[in-house]
């Protein structure tokens, strides 16, 4: 089942990785809440021996994640950051990583504050511009790292074009696919070597679990990452794997509703006199609308917008919506609202990546679109 390439995403989301439990026939994956496993004899173990190394609930999740991304192998982690950190352990001191310049703040912090202290060289470039990427390649470049769409500016990078640049340079391409989810974008099919997710977001989808994942095709690199997963030990527990698997079942229908709702909300915002600018890959006004149409199967659930009233108006909106909860994170069934400049992006305040303090970011949930629009309307009519 897991590797059957003929099934569509909706089917894979429900079935991939999951087989009825061999001992009981349980249809839903059991939560194997155990740290260790009885062995038949000394030093002859086959199968499971210790849950840092492997756990059946995690094995099922690996199967589901690989199938969703159309990859051969997947590995699950305790968080998105743990997944990214584990890939970076493939990079040796003296090697160079070329990263997108508006990656997730936690990724920037890991690269800039943790790993560059260990002798890995980083440069940050605008991956939306092929020429800038080519110019930043060095003889020791081993990895190009990017996100598309980015947070919160929703800029897009042409994955296939950058994959080609990476491979000519003898480097890997890693794509953080958290914002699009596997329902809307398939980086491996476009030439990426690694796909990473914060499964905390759309894959889990219910704001009830933190997790991460790597998906890839190369067997030798998979073996190295599998070794690192066990050696480092940033693995998710069985309950977290179960919750993520449970979330995955509805990924396809959730993403369809996120896209439908966000499209309606984006059009409402674009027509509202209090709103100066709406950034959404599904609007023709998006500077990379054509790339979004070509590379993504839907525009996603994230919208950023700027109000004529600036920061003061943005703060009022973020505080006074009722259905949109003021909170960090994204990708859950419930709508969230936040101001990146003082909240998620405070750490880049004094850098060229500083975000307009009047920018509002919303993660549009799967509620009724008109209810969401009415909620925004009642506050926008007052700013
Ligand atoms: C949240 C997020 C991460 C980090 O994932 P955690 O699960 O919070 O560790 C990485 N990349 C992107 C794009 C994210 O949104």
Determine the atom of ligand 1 nearest the C-alpha atom of 147. Answer: 13
107 lines ligand 1 (CB under 6 A): yes
Task: State residue 285's pLDDT score.
Answer: 98
Q: Which residue of the set 155, 201, 254, 361 is catalytic?
A: 201
Asked if residue 323 lies in contact with residue 378, where contact means CB atoms within 8 angstroms, the answer is no
* pLDDT at residue 198, as a whole number: 98
pLDDT tens, position by position, 122-161: 999 999 999 999 999 999 999 999 999 999 999 999 999 9
User: Is the pLDDT assigned to residue 351 strictly greater than 90?
Assistant: no
Q: Please identify which of the residues 54, 102, 158, 176 carries the catalytic annotation.
A: 176
| Band of residue 4 on the pLDDT scale cut at 50, 70, 90 | low
Q: pLDDT, tens digit, for every residue of 275-286?
A: 999 999 999 999
Residue 3: pLDDT band (50, 70, 90) is low
- Report domain 253-380's class: alpha beta
Average pLDDT, integer, range 282-308: 98
Sheet holding 359-363, edge to edge: 275-279, 302-307, 359-363, 336-338, 325-326
Please check the confidence at residue 62 and state whether its pLDDT lies above 60.
Answer: yes
pLDDT confidence of 2, banded at 50, 70, 90? very low
pLDDT confidence of residue 279 = 98
Q: Which two tokens stand for residue 27?
A: 């249809």
pLDDT for res 5: 64
300 lines ligand 1 (CB under 6 A): no
pLDDT value at position 350? 77
Whole-angstrom distance, CA of residue 308 vs CA of residue 227: 52
Q: Which of 104, 202, 222, 280 is catalytic?
A: 104
What confidence tens digit (pLDDT) does each residue in 32-46 have? Answer: 999 999 998 887 667
61, 244 Cβ separation under 8 angstroms: yes
Residues 206-252: pLDDT tens digits? 999 999 999 999 999 999 999 999 999 999 999 999 999 999 999 99
Cβ pair 185, 255 in contact under 8 A: no
Q: How far is the CA of 309 from the centre of ligand 1 (A)?
A: 30
Ligand 1 centroid distance, CA of 49 (Å): 30
Is 176 a residue of the active site?
yes
Its sign, for the CA torsion 234, 195, 165, 286, is negative
The mean per-residue pLDDT over the stretch 292-300 comes to 98
As a whole number of angstroms, the distance between CA 363 and CA 308 comes to 21
Residue 196 has which token pair?
Answer: 């990473």
pLDDT digits (tens, 9 = 90+) for 151-196: 999 999 999 999 999 999 999 999 999 999 999 999 999 999 999 9
Task: Give, as one character, the DSSP assignment of residue 114.
Answer: I
CA of 199 relative to ligand 1 center, distance in Å: 8
9-248 domain in CATH 3.40.640.10?
yes
d(CA 305, CA 285): 13
Give the DSSP letter of residue 113.
I
Q: Evaluate: CB of 356 within 6 angstroms of ligand 1.
A: no
Residue with tokens 């994955």: 159
| Domain 9-248 matches domain 253-380 at the CATH topology level | no
pLDDT of the residue at 168? 98
Band (47; pLDDT cuts 50, 70, 90): confident
For residue 209, report the distance from its CA to the centre of ligand 1, in Å: 12
37 carries an active-site annotation:
no
Domain boundaries, the chain: 9-248, 253-380
3-state helix, strand, coil in the chain (%, to 5): 35, 15, 45
pLDDT mean over 77-95: 98
- Give the residue with greater pLDDT, 353 vs 269: 269
């Amino acid at each position: 089942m897991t590797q059957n390439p003929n099934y569509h995403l909706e089917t894979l989301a429900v079935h991939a990785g999951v087989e009825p439990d061999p001992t009981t026939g349980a249809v839903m994956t059991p939560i194997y809440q155990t740290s260790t496993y009885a062995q038949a004899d000394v030093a002859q173990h086959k199968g499971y021996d210790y849950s840092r190394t492997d756990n059946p609930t995690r094995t099922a999740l690996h199967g589901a994640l690989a199938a969703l991304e159309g990859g051969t192998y997947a590995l699950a982690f305790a968080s998105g950051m743990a997944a990214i950190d584990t890939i970076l352990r493939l990079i040796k001191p003296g090697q160079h990583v070329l990263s997108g310049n508006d990656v997730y703040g936690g990724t920037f912090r890991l690269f800039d504050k943790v790993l560059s202290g260990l002798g890995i060289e980083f440069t940050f470039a605008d991956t939306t511009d092929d020429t800038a990427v080519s110019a930043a390649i060095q003889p020791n470049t081993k990895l190009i790292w990017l996100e598309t769409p980015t947070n919160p500016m929703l800029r897009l990078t042409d994955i296939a074009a950058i994959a080609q640049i990476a491979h000519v340079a003898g480097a890997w391409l890693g794509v953080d696919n958290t914002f699009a989810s596997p329902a809307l974008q398939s980086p491996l099919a476009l030439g990426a070597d690694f796909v990473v997710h914060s499964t905390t977001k759309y894959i889990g989808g219910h704001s009830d679990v933190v997790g991460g994942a790597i998906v890839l095709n190369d067997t030798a690199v998979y073996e190295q990452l599998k070794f690192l997963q066990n050696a480092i030990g940033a693995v998710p527990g069985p309950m977290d794997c179960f919750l993520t698997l449970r979330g995955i079942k509805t990924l396809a229908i959730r993403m369809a509703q996120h896209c439908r709702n966000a499209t309606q909300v984006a059009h409402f915002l674009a027509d509202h006199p209090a709103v100066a600018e709406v950034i959404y890959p599904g609007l023709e006004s998006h500077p990379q609308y054509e790339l979004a149409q070509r590379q993504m199967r839907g525009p996603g659930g994230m919208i950023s917008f700027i109000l004529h009233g600036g920061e003061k108006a943005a703060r009022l909106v973020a505080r006074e919506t009722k259905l949109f909860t003021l909170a960090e994170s994204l990708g859950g069934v419930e709508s969230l609202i936040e101001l990146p400049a003082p909240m998620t992006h405070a750490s880049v305040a004094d850098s060229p990546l500083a975000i307009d303090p009047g920018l509002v970011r919303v993660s549009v949930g799967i509620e009724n679109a008109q209810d969401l629009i009415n909620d925004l309307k009642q506050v926008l009519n007052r700013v």
